Structure 1
């Protein structure tokens, strides 16, 4: 769940939570002033600060419930991930804004709990009580998600939420110590925040100093291979492989992506003066309203995009055509294809060109271009991921045998349960885009896994 999604959920629930708190405050006031004070003639006085903090805590808990429970659909009951720091390893390997947001937001989400509890009652000024409250709350959420299927019981969530409560507690206690002019103690209470910030700083500095990016195909944890039968139907040379080139793609900033979209639509003679623009951390969404209307989804990291034509007449249907008509229509979009691109007819009106690792000078062209052709002689859907990569330098790589040893060790990514049998039919050197936009060499083990065709990717550098 991204930051934008969570903020949207909080915004959606804020008004509801606010009015519920107002109603609760009115009910509480009625019970206290009319019933307790007047009818029952109670003498206990109402403390303002704990009351305000209590209502703030109630509102906060409503927000947490909205984010963790009420805005999810049941997925699969009994899902559990007890890997410590698995979310950190995944965020490191993928190194996307979305994954790091997931980690940091799980910490930030429990900051208010740690901030409010010491203000609610003096008991929570002892760290052990606030930490225990943080553990109990997140354990309740994770257990509820486990038994209902509204989420996955994740040990990392328990760790991150508790850390957030500790940091929040430290913030409140440090302010109280500064208020009492105990500055050295205030610094001590800030140590969880300081150490956490330092750890994240080390992670991001280390990443920025790396020559190349990280690969999302690197696993968070090893696959259990103890009960797996592996059959190798190909010879693996043990001698060192020749150095392989590393390539780099032309990545785009948000402004460059917007300019690309404007130029793209203008080539189609569309008016971009009222073009709608939305974005998340890694993708831009561009819309041209009208008749016809188009949407363009654009990936910043490599410039791949998806085009969709909407609001066209129902009697316009997909039809087949020849390649020359398709190429002429592509010219309308300013697209030319390499001569080696092979056309494949996938279905009625559906076509795809493929280019596999085509070297042209110091460039490499790889990927596919998918289109749908309609009876008004236009392409209305397009997925363009045929990318040109520029050579950076040659790098030494592992042998196929070394890569196979990693496979046997379970050092590969796999999501589909236990592996009973792997039959390796072929192995080839291919490429995979890393988190910095470099196209790195990887070994692809073409295999039959549990009876189905699949592949296992192992980094080659």
Structure 2
């Protein structure tokens, strides 16, 4: 989820949180009045009441966003691997992962920002640090105990850093107000955390740009703990491997390609864009309407280059064979004119309403050949009028350009990564599990720069359940 999606989730919660905070503030004020009438001497300023109210509202928003808005889908999930979020963002080269790291810090900035306004004691660093740790650990424990989230050390780190950043900003403001001029020392301290992360992300970008190849999302952010896991091999693994071909696809991780397609379909199908682009994980999403006010969604997946234009209504239209033939001619001409349809595709009709073009190439041929090739499919469900947008246009046709031959590790060397737990698996292995590797094969996977890299696919079983993972075939650096 990107920042826009997070804000979209926050806005519906805001009215409820405001009401709850007002009720709690009213109850607090009522007891405070009683306290004062009975001779209580301690006074609270408007600033303290305001800070308290805002903290209550902030805490309610955080709890609803991180815990109560989720289903009970996580059972006992914990992640004690520090910086695993950074590894995940690096492997996927994902803006969304990066935004989540930043958001986790920004989410706790109000805590550190407001605590110094509550009392003299909370103007010191140590109490703010302790309170921040207690709050974030409490939230993480609530998530894991309620099965509504994962207990992650990364979250505790980022939440605490965010609170400290907020505290340093408030200290800079208070010191500057007291001195009636900018306090350079406290202002410099307030800038330390933002500058550190700017340098971190800038350094990562510089390293990434200096590399020829991109990052593989199949790489694990967290290694498997193989202690107590029995690993068996039921196939022979060669000790040597011949060089294979490397390719590149310029529509992978290329937002300009997505923009190019949206610019192409608008005049072709008489569509008008409704709003700006949205981000949902690896998907970039645009919304359109046609001349009849029908809504269409365009989705471009940066990770595999696949894009789809579809009508959300799902209305079915029956077409005759003659109409389908006419539609085929129209769409084939449109795709050929725009260099979207390879010449050697195989055409077929599915379900009496879907036009389909396929082209397939074996992995063996891909690894051996030294020439460009296309692979994939295009499926179109036409509308009744060939001048309107189709009901569904799904383009998974990839054009790969040959780069060069590359050396690869052997299957036996790749298997060593399995033994070390250096592979991705959604449900992590645990003590007592039995992993049996039954087969292996050479495959290909796109990296974050569009290179079609060779990988090994291992398949087998974990405790009699089907299992599969991918391991890079080129040396892991």
Cα displacement (A) at 1:250? 3.1
TM-score when normalising by structure 1? 0.82
Unaligned ranges ≥5, structure 2: none
Question: 1:431 aligns to what SS in structure 2?
Answer: strand
Distance 1:128 1:367, change over 3 A: farther
Asked if residue 200 in structure 1 is aligned to residue 201 in structure 2, the reply is: yes
Kept in 2: contact 1:106–1:160 (CA 8 A): yes
> 2 CA distance for matches of 1:161 and 1:431?
38
Asked if residue 410 in structure 1 is aligned to residue 421 in structure 2, the reply is: yes
Which of 444, 447, 461 pairs up with 2:457? 444
Query: In the TM superposition, what whole-angstrom CA distance separates every residue of 1:258-313 from its partner, at most 9, and x where no partner exists?
Result: 4422422543xx32246555422751323234376543212346642123234465
> 2 CA distance for matches of 1:399 and 1:17?
58
> 2 CA distance for matches of 1:321 and 1:440?
43
Kept in 2: contact 1:264–1:334 (CA 8 A): no
- Which residue of 1 is the match for residue 160 of structure 2? 162
Distance 1:372 1:237, change over 3 A: farther
Count residues with an aligned counterpart.
Answer: 454
Distance 1:248 1:452, change over 3 A: same
Q: For the aligned residues, what is the CA RMSD?
A: 3.8
Distance 1:374 1:158, change over 3 A: same
> 2 CA distance for matches of 1:175 and 1:133?
21
- Which residue of 2 is the match for residue 249 of structure 1? 250
Q: Following superposition of structure 1 onto structure 2, how do residues 315-394 of structure 1 map, counting pairs within 5 Å? A: 316=317, 327-328=328-329, 330-331=331-332, 334=335, 337-338=341-342, 341=345, 353-356=358-361, 362-371=371-380, 380-394=391-405
Cα displacement (A) at 1:98? 0.8
Q: Following superposition of structure 1 onto structure 2, how do residues 6-405 of structure 1 map, counting pairs within 5 Å? A: 6-21=6-21, 45-178=43-176, 179-180=178-179, 183-184=184-185, 187-188=188-189, 190-225=191-226, 226-238=228-240, 241-242=242-243, 244-250=245-251, 257-267=258-268, 270-273=269-272, 277-280=276-279, 282-289=283-290, 290=292, 293-300=295-302, 303-311=305-313, 316=317, 327-328=328-329, 330-331=331-332, 334=335, 337-338=341-342, 341=345, 353-356=358-361, 362-371=371-380, 380-405=391-416
> 2 CA distance for matches of 1:17 and 1:248?
48
Kept in 2: contact 1:319–1:373 (CA 8 A): no
> 1 CA distance for matches of 2:42 and 2:427?
61
Instruction: Between the two structures, name the one with larger relative contact order (CA 8 Å, sep ≥ 6).
Output: 2
Kept in 2: contact 1:343–1:354 (CA 8 A): no
Kept in 1: contact 2:72–2:146 (CA 8 A): yes
Asked if residue 456 in structure 1 is aligned to residue 464 in structure 2, the reply is: no
- Which residue of 2 is the match for residue 422 of structure 1? 436
Kept in 2: contact 1:146–1:152 (CA 8 A): yes
Query: In the TM superposition, what whole-angstrom CA distance separates every residue of 1:356-411 from its partner, at most 9, and x where no partner exists?
Result: 36769742323343455799999633432221122344443323332222223222
Cα displacement (A) at 1:457? 1.2
> 2 CA distance for matches of 1:399 and 1:44?
75
Cα displacement (A) at 1:160? 1.4
- Which residue of 1 is the match for residue 5 of structure 2? 5
> 1 CA distance for matches of 2:271 and 2:185?
59
> 2 CA distance for matches of 1:83 and 1:57?
30
Cα displacement (A) at 1:113? 0.8
> 2 CA distance for matches of 1:261 and 1:176?
50
Kept in 1: contact 2:230–2:435 (CA 8 A): yes
> 1 CA distance for matches of 2:341 and 2:194?
53
Distance 1:352 1:149, change over 3 A: farther
Cα displacement (A) at 1:343? 6.7
Cα displacement (A) at 1:217? 0.4
* Greater Cα offset, 327-336 or 430-439: 327-336
* Greater Cα offset, 361-370 or 113-122: 361-370
> 2 CA distance for matches of 1:153 and 1:319?
57
Unaligned ranges ≥5, structure 1: none
Distance 1:153 1:28, change over 3 A: closer
> 1 CA distance for matches of 2:378 and 2:462?
29
